[in-house]
Structure formats: structure tokens, C-alpha cells
Amino acid sequence: MRSSGPCAIRDIRLGRLRELRALPINEDVAPHQFPRSFVRVGLALVGLAASCGRFGYETVNEFGGETRTHSSERTNDGGTSVETANGECMDGVAGGPCTLPDPGAASPAPCSADDVANGACTPPDAGNASPGPCGGGESCTVGQTVCVGGELATCTLSGSCYGYGTPVACGQRQTCAGASGAAACTCNDDPLCLAPGDVCQDASTLATCALDSDGCLYVAGTTGCTGGGASCQNGTCGCGLALECGGSCVDDQTDANHCGACGHDCLGGACQGGVCQPAALATGQKNPTGGLVLDANNVYWTTSGSPGGVLQMPLLGGVPTTVASNQGQALGIAVSATQVYWVTGGASGSVRRALIGGGTATQLMAGSYPEGLALDARSYYWTNGGTAASPGNGSLMKAPLGGGSAQTLASGQWGASALALDGTNAYWTDYAAGTSGAGKVMKVPRAGGAVTTLASGRNGPQGVATDGVNVYWADSLGGTLSRVSVGGGAATTLSSGQHSPRYLALDSTHVYWTTRGTSSSGYSDGTVMSLPLGGGTPLVLAAGQNGASGIAVDATSVYWSTNGSAAASFSNGTVMRITKP
């Protein structure tokens, strides 16, 4: 039962009805005792005051000036309502035909549970079909979602009404899906992508997966796996069994640009099993013999087959250029910044020179069986083999580059042959006509002075080279490669069992030499060899070289000449090159 306290109701007028006020009285007056017009007003007031428990009203009969006060008592659960024959309500509004003003619009205070149950007022439209101000609609709760035309709408409370707002388009890579009330924009992730990062699109394509602004995975770009043997493996472009060089995969067993290692260029030679093979720079040469030297641009060599000559060609190959022709038995060779120097053999031999690139050959000095030749900044040096008879009348000679008299640095040499210089001394071999145990390795200061025997008892020493620390030479008849300190001492054999080792060259780490081969094979089994300066196992750089002869090295390659074959009258000689291991 609600409290019976007074309830004020103002400004409700019908005709000339004046202000009404609820009275706490108990008189029970039947509505049919009053004129219909006022009774209906009273009934309206009963409806408005129904939430106040006991209520009262007074009516004024304007025609008779009569005022009456009415009261009634009604429970909050409504009780019963009776409409008279005149259509007037006997008690409250809960009975049916008699209704109050629209409780959805005229409720004077927040609704209690009792008010809602009795129909006295209606809460804000919850999406039901109540006749309240929000009208009909689909039921929803704040935050619920639904797909509308492929777009997502969300339930919100606007004022006192619940409803779905304006649909919003899903993202570029999204689709609106799901049951009504629980729909969502879901990602159409690229099936290739499981997470951001790189993934293999196929065996030869690397794809990069990324998240867009909606958190959807997509392929942001692709990169082809390039190079021989390239394939995509585990999210990277891998080379499998191949070698990756500069971002590309190569077969280092056959790739001539990356033979055995990245950047190991065979410089025109083939790559077989990861090893560079020899490349011919010049062919059809007439018996190239021991003379072969390099400068920064060219390789120079001599030929002793008639008519004999001096030739040059670029280090990387090309067409040979004749520096001088008709030189007879051209042998040792050296080069300065502008000139090429060489010796011609025989009893009436000489030292000659011509401009690099060719020109008139000039004879500088005469010699007797000259063979070895070397230059420093001011002078040229050469060996005279002399006659073959012991004890020999060969010599080591020196003369200024600019012209002038020759100086004898050593005399009485038996078959002075190969020649090398360091910053202080000149070194040479005495071949001694191939007499077993008669050969020597010799030294003399370049400025002249005492002649020193560094090694004796050698068997046909021929090629010689020095690094300023040791002197290296080959015993062509003894089949050995040896060294000795420039200051003298015991000789060390670095390699033995070589087939006629002949000429030598050095770099900072290795000694290189040629072997002529065996007479039984017609010298077709000549080789090019290398060995660490400190010793070790010799390495065959090239085999099957017909009478391999002169040799020189630069930073990347080894160059040598071959005599050719007797069957071809030594007219098939070559100049060769191979990339260092």
C-alpha cells in the first residue's frame, strides 16, 4: 500500500474546472450523482492520483454552485474497475475499459516496478512493441552488432531509445559476418600468410607478409630467387647445394666467375670441379723458350724457332703484337716502363731492345751464349754461358740502361744461365753443361764485389728466383726444387721427383715452377706447379703442358709458355694463363 500523503495536481482543466487538490477524506461518493462532464473530469483525476493511495477530489456544479468532495481508496495492485451505464469509471483504472492518459508520455515521475506492472507508465523503449515514444523496433542491447548490406551496425542508446546505428563499412580486406547481435568485421587473411614476415610463395618466389591498418595479413610484395640453383626455403631464398655469391646462387663447381669460391674468376678458363682450368692466350707460337715477363698491362715472351721474335699481348687476352721479328734464338727477356729488352743466343749473341708495342730493334751489347736477363732502375744485367768446356768462361755482366760500357760482375762461370735480382745482389745458376754435381748457385753484389757460392754439387741448376730472404732454384737434371738463405748455409730441398723442372717465379706466399716433362712422352706431360714458400705438398696447377717453359705471376694469375711438340716441329707452342687457386 502506497503512502496516503498529499499529491499536488495542477493545471488540468476541462471547460471551466478550477484547480483541484487531493483531500485526505473518507467520504465515498458515487460518481453517478454528478453531472457527466464533471464526473469524467473526476475520473481523469482519479487516474492521475491513482499512485497516491487514498485520494480525493472535489467538483463544482457551475450550474448550481454546488461543491462536493469525493474520496476513494485504491490499492497499488489496481483492484477492480467498474464502468457505469453512463461509461463512467467506478473505481480506478485497472479494470480495463477505463484508461489513463498515455503513460509512456505523461508519467510525472520515474516508474517503479508497480507502476509498470499496473500500466501507469512505460520505461524507455527497449525495442519491444510497446506504444511508448521510441516506437516499435528490433530488440538489441548496447554493443550488440549486426551486418547490414555487408556493413556493420552497432546497438547504442540514443536519448531514451535503443537501436542500431548507421552501418559502417568493413576494412579493405574484411567481410562482415556472424549471427545477429554478434556480427563482426573479420579479416580475409591471405592464406599464404600466417604471421608478418617472409614466406615462400613457391619454389622460386619469396613473399613478404604484413599487417594492414585493420590487423589483416596480406602479401605486401614478392621477390624472385635469382641465380643458378636458387630456391625459396623456409622463408628465405636459399641456394641449397649451390653457393650464394652477391645475392645470387651459383654452382661453384662449374661457374667460371665463382670457381670454388665467390669471386674466384677463371679469367677465360673453364671451371671444372671447382678448379680453374688453363686458358690459352696465344697459340701457334714457334718454340717459346725460357723468356716470359709481365708488366701491369701485357705479357711478353720470346720465340727461338726460326725466324725468332719478341711478342706481347694484353694480360686478359687478345691478338699478339710483334715487338721485334727475325731475332734468331731469342731467349731471356725483361721490360722497363717504355722498352722491352731481350737476348739472342749463340756464340754471336747480343742484348737488344725495342719500344713496347714494336719498333726498330737496337743492339746494346754483344755476348757469348747469353741466356738470362734482368733490370733494375738504372742498369740491365745478363749472363754469358760461354763455351761448354770446363772450367767455363761464362760471366755475369752489367751495363747502364741509358748506354755506356759494360761491367763484368763475375767471370770464369761454367754455363752461367738463369738470373734474378733483389735490392742488393744478383743471383744466377751455373748449369755446368749438365755435368752431374758440377752445378752451382751464385751471388754477387749488384754494385760489384766478391762472388759467393751459395750452393754447389747441383745437377743442372736452371731456373732461379729470390724474395730477398731466400734464393730458390730448380735442378733440372736432379728433379728437385731447393732453396738456400741469401746469406748462405745449408740448402733445403722443397720438392723432389719433378720431371725436368726448369723456370721459377715467386709471389709473397708461394713458389711456382714449370716442368718440361719426360722424354718418353715427348715432353707432353709437362706441368705447372706451386708450393708454399715454407714447404709442403706440391700442387699441380696444370698438366699435359708440352714442354712447359718460362713462367711469371701477378696478383691473380700464373702465366707460362710451352715449347710445343716435336711432331709439329715445335710450331704449336702456346702462352697460357691460369687463375691462382
Last residue of a domain, one of 118, 141, 167: 118
38 assigned to some structural domain: yes
Banded model confidence at residue 495, pLDDT cuts 50, 70, 90: very high
pLDDT at 111 over 50: no
**Cβ(140)–Cβ(162) below 8 Å:** yes
pLDDT the model gives residue 370: 97
User: Is the same domain home to 84 and 150?
Assistant: no
Higher-pLDDT residue of 305 and 96 is: 305
Last residue of a domain, one of 271, 289, 321: 271
Taking residues 466-483, report their average pLDDT.
97
pLDDT the model gives residue 133: 55
88 assigned to some structural domain: yes
User: Is the same domain home to 76 and 98?
Assistant: yes
Dmax (CA) for the chain in angstroms is 180
308 assigned to some structural domain: no
Taking residues 256-262, report their average pLDDT.
95
Banded model confidence at residue 244, pLDDT cuts 50, 70, 90: confident
Q: What is the DSSP letter of 83?
A: B
208 assigned to some structural domain: no
How far apart CA 109 and CA 141 sit, in angstroms, is 25
Q: Put the strands of the sheet holding 510-515 in their side by side order.
A: 501-506, 510-515, 526-532, 539-545
Q: What is the pLDDT of residues 447-464, one digit of tens each?
A: 999 999 999 999 999 999
Q: Which segment of 34-48, 153-167, 287-301, 400-414 scores lowest on mean pLDDT?
A: 34-48
Rounded to the nearest angstrom, the gap between the alpha carbon of residue 320 and the centroid of all alpha carbons in its chain is 42
pLDDT the model gives residue 65: 45
pLDDT the model gives residue 35: 39
User: Is the same domain home to 97 and 134?
Assistant: no
pLDDT at 56 over 70: no
pLDDT at 93 over 90: no
489 assigned to some structural domain: no
pLDDT at 406 over 90: yes
Question: Residue 416, SS3?
Answer: strand
Banded model confidence at residue 540, pLDDT cuts 50, 70, 90: very high
Taking residues 8-37, report their average pLDDT.
37
Higher-pLDDT residue of 110 and 509 is: 509
pLDDT the model gives residue 117: 46
Last residue of a domain, one of 218, 250, 271: 271
Question: Residue 44, SS3?
Answer: helix
Taking residues 496-502, report their average pLDDT.
96
pLDDT at 227 over 80: no
55 assigned to some structural domain: yes
Q: What is the DSSP letter of 182?
A: B
Q: Which segment of 76-90, 153-167, 303-317, 431-445 scores lowest on mean pLDDT?
A: 76-90
Non-local (6+) Cβ contacts of 197 within 8 A are 208, 209, 235
User: Is the same domain home to 54 and 96?
Assistant: yes
Taking residues 125-150, report their average pLDDT.
68
User: Is the same domain home to 65 and 38?
Assistant: yes
pLDDT the model gives residue 482: 98
Non-local (6+) Cβ contacts of 85 within 8 A are none
* Helix residue ranges per DSSP H, 326-473: none
Higher-pLDDT residue of 383 and 54 is: 383
pLDDT at 217 over 70: yes
259 assigned to some structural domain: yes
pLDDT the model gives residue 137: 52
pLDDT the model gives residue 168: 96
What is the sign of the dihedral through the CA atoms of 179, 181, 182 and 186?
positive
Q: Which residues span the domain enclosing 58?
A: 31-118
Q: Which segment of 39-43, 153-157, 275-279, 371-375 scores lowest on mean pLDDT?
A: 39-43
User: Is the same domain home to 148 and 103?
Assistant: no
Domains of the chain: total: 3
pLDDT at 349 over 90: yes
Give per-residue burial for 429-455: e unless 16+ CB within 10 Å, then b.
bbbbbeeeebbbbbbbebeeeebbebb
500 assigned to some structural domain: no
User: Is the same domain home to 110 and 39?
Assistant: yes
